[in-house]
Structure 1
Amino acid sequence: MLFYVFLIITAVALFYIVTCYFISGTIIYLDRQPVPKNPGNYGLDFEDIIFTTSDQVEIKGWLIPGSSNKLVIITHVGGLTKYGSTREFKSISKLYNKEIEFLKVARHLHSQGYGVLMFDFRNHGESDPSPNGGKAGVGLEEYLDVVAAMQFIANRDDLRSKNIGFVSFCMGANSTIVAMSKEPAVFKDVKCMVAIQPISMAVFIRTYLGKLFTPVGAKLLLPLVSKFVAWRGKYPLEKMSPAGFAQDIKVPTMYVQTKNDPWTELSDIKGFYAETPAPKEFFWIEGTKHRFEGYQYFGQQPAKMLEWLEKWM
């Protein structure tokens, strides 16, 4: 009898350890999806661009010319690409299986005269892996790619005089906020930002595990997941957040959040908003049930985004 009890306890312990190890891997090593379409598929002229970060990562992107002196940089969600997300890509860690197309956002911007710069973060899409073995920082590492994009603009005669704005999604928003804090001089020509659903990774994992394993299960799993992330990754889970950096934002910022997002605590983004100096605005996306629907919102209903950009650019 004791032998069987021992076997059950051992099996449960192994399941617990393996599950936590697997979850930590999905945080550190984000999905690398393909890039199935380019701006040409949306009727947009574009240029393939390449630039290199300060730690020698080659970043690949697109430059869509505009008819005005305004240029918007779109930064994407972790685990997605500059295109977005394709249903054709299958992964056990993929969280949403509908098409997400950031190029629809770019098309709306282009129709209003904006130029658009889009790129794949390191370890994503067509860009190179990071020198740390492809480990993500959910903004703490990827901010270097945003800085490099700004330096690419500064080095181009046809771009350096542009008024610049950001439309930044999730990890892209984290990365932009961190970059603005760490390298403020690089962002002196930026006029405004739209920050869609930036997030603290610890909050995301806690709420996600709570939905998957119940809140009690999340409380049991999270401590070991955090330990594995700290051991296997470059940054502790609790540090993967724009908290503490948002206070250094020097441009008008509109935060955007789906109100019924089951994978966050709304106090998280409200905290970033409170930390951010004015001028600022908060826009709630109503009537959605999934966090990822918020990433499609401006591709379908761009009015609020365009209004904010027009006001400040």
Structure 2
Amino acid sequence: MFGNMVSNMMVKPSQSPLFDSPTDYGLNYENVEFKARDGVTLRGWLIKGGTDRVIVQSHFGVQCNRGGWSPKGRGPIAPWKEDIKFLRQAKYLAEQGYSVLMYDLRGHGESDLGTIPWVSWGPEEAKDVVAAVDFVSARPEFANASVGLLSICMGAASTTYAYGLADGLASRDKVKALVNVQPLLYSYFVKALGMPGFMERAGAKVSRDRLGFNMAEPNFINDAPKISVPTLVLQNQNDPWTNLDMVQSYYDALTVEKDLRMLDLEASRFAGYDYLGRSPEAFVGWFDQYL
């Protein structure tokens, strides 16, 4: 019982319905779909700004989707009390002349389940990041565009793993810059939650049976040196669900031009996600510099 409960919390797909729409922001957009290399169909919005710079935004995991995160249905102890609307930063980006691809990772929002029908925290979702870059790169209006990656939490892990894939992001020369928001290894997240050991072990066994691997073993930090574009890392220094030494290790492993910005926000991991829409100018300058 405990094993299924814990594993469901960590890897069960489709836990968050889409709750927001670009029409509410007056944005010009197109509903799009495309396939990852393993045939999984992904769906999203292409927010139309300019044609010479496009951002691919990859969201955080499990209880999120391309539109963001909502406390609705999360009970009285939801980790954040307000909707986190990723369309806020998309609107700002469009106003600055960027187009934005916001898509659902496999098993999230309106995208299909993956060939492994569970959330893997990055190793499987890495295929989706590559597919998203390939999709915008192939669009005729973006023939001469530069691509920037805005990758949030599991999106940051997935993007980093995508640089380690054979024929992955390292070979996509249209990508010019990366902003990684609060990268987090699964093992550190579980430790930070303070879950009793017997529950953690029970959940790990169920997840291992479902995914076919131990979630504590893949380590995207090993792929960080393969990232080939200037990278900005954003991290709430008051985030109670992470280990700041892990974030520093990730940053230290990067071998490109880079910057690490520790944000002094509310003591919640979700404050870092909410920050993106409240202060988008804080990271858009990184894209302005390189795209």
- Compute the TM-score of the two structures, normalised by the length of structure 2: 0.92
**1:169 maps onto 2:138 in alignment:** no
**1:207 maps onto 2:192 in alignment:** yes
After TM superposition, give the deviation of residue 97 of structure 1 in Å.
Answer: 4.4
Q: Deviations over 1:47-98 (max 9, x none)?
A: 1111011111111111111235110111101020110012334479965442
After TM superposition, give the deviation of residue 43 of structure 1 in Å.
Answer: 1.2
Measure, in 2, the Cα distance between the counterparts of 1:95 and 1:287: 14
Letter in 2 for 1:308: W
Instruction: Select the structure with the greater relative contact order (CA < 8 A; seq sep ≥ 6).
Output: 2
Unmatched tracts of structure 1, length 5 or more? 1-17
Unmatched tracts of structure 2, length 5 or more? none
Identity %: 30
Q: After the TM superposition, which of the residue ranges 234-243 and 262-271 deviates more from structure 2?
A: 234-243
Measure, in 1, the Cα distance between the counterparts of 2:22 and 2:173: 28
Measure, in 1, the Cα distance between the counterparts of 2:112 and 2:21: 18
**1:85 maps onto 2:69 in alignment:** yes
**1:308 maps onto 2:291 in alignment:** no
After TM superposition, give the deviation of residue 235 of structure 1 in Å.
Answer: 2.8
Q: After the TM superposition, which of the residue ranges 86-95 and 108-117 deviates more from structure 2?
A: 86-95
Letter in 1 for 2:181: I
- In structure 2, the partner of 1:285 is 263
Measure, in 1, the Cα distance between the counterparts of 2:81 and 2:212: 29
Letter in 2 for 1:46: Y
After TM superposition, give the deviation of residue 309 of structure 1 in Å.
Answer: 1.1
Question: Are the equivalent residues in 1 in contact too, given 2:163–2:169 (CA < 8 A)?
Answer: yes
Measure, in 2, the Cα distance between the counterparts of 1:246 and 1:174: 9
Q: Deviations over 1:294-313 (max 9, x none)?
A: 00102111222021111111
Measure, in 2, the Cα distance between the counterparts of 1:108 and 1:178: 28
**1:122 maps onto 2:100 in alignment:** no
**1:255 maps onto 2:247 in alignment:** no
Map 1:61-72 to 2 at 5 A.
Answer: 61-72=44-55
Measure, in 1, the Cα distance between the counterparts of 2:7 and 2:210: 8
Measure, in 2, the Cα distance between the counterparts of 1:186 and 1:26: 35
Letter in 1 for 2:179: V
Quick check: which has more Rg, 1 or 2? 1
SS in 2 for 1:191: strand
Give the root-mean-square deviation of aligned CA atoms: 2.0
Q: Which runs of 4+ in 1 moved over 2 A?
A: 18-21, 86-98, 184-187, 219-229, 231-235
Q: 1:93 to 1:172 in 2, by over 3 A?
A: farther
Measure, in 2, the Cα distance between the counterparts of 1:195 and 1:188: 18
- In structure 1, the partner of 2:23 is 40
* Count of residues paired in the alignment: 288
**1:56 maps onto 2:39 in alignment:** yes
Q: Deviations over 1:83-135 (max 9, x none)?
A: 00123344799654421101001011111111111101111111111122x21
Measure, in 1, the Cα distance between the counterparts of 2:29 and 2:120: 30
Letter in 2 for 1:279: E
Question: Are the equivalent residues in 2 in contact too, given 1:34–1:89 (CA < 8 A)?
Answer: no
**1:107 maps onto 2:91 in alignment:** yes
Letter in 1 for 2:69: S
- Compute the TM-score of the two structures, normalised by the length of structure 1: 0.86
After TM superposition, give the deviation of residue 249 of structure 1 in Å.
Answer: 0.4
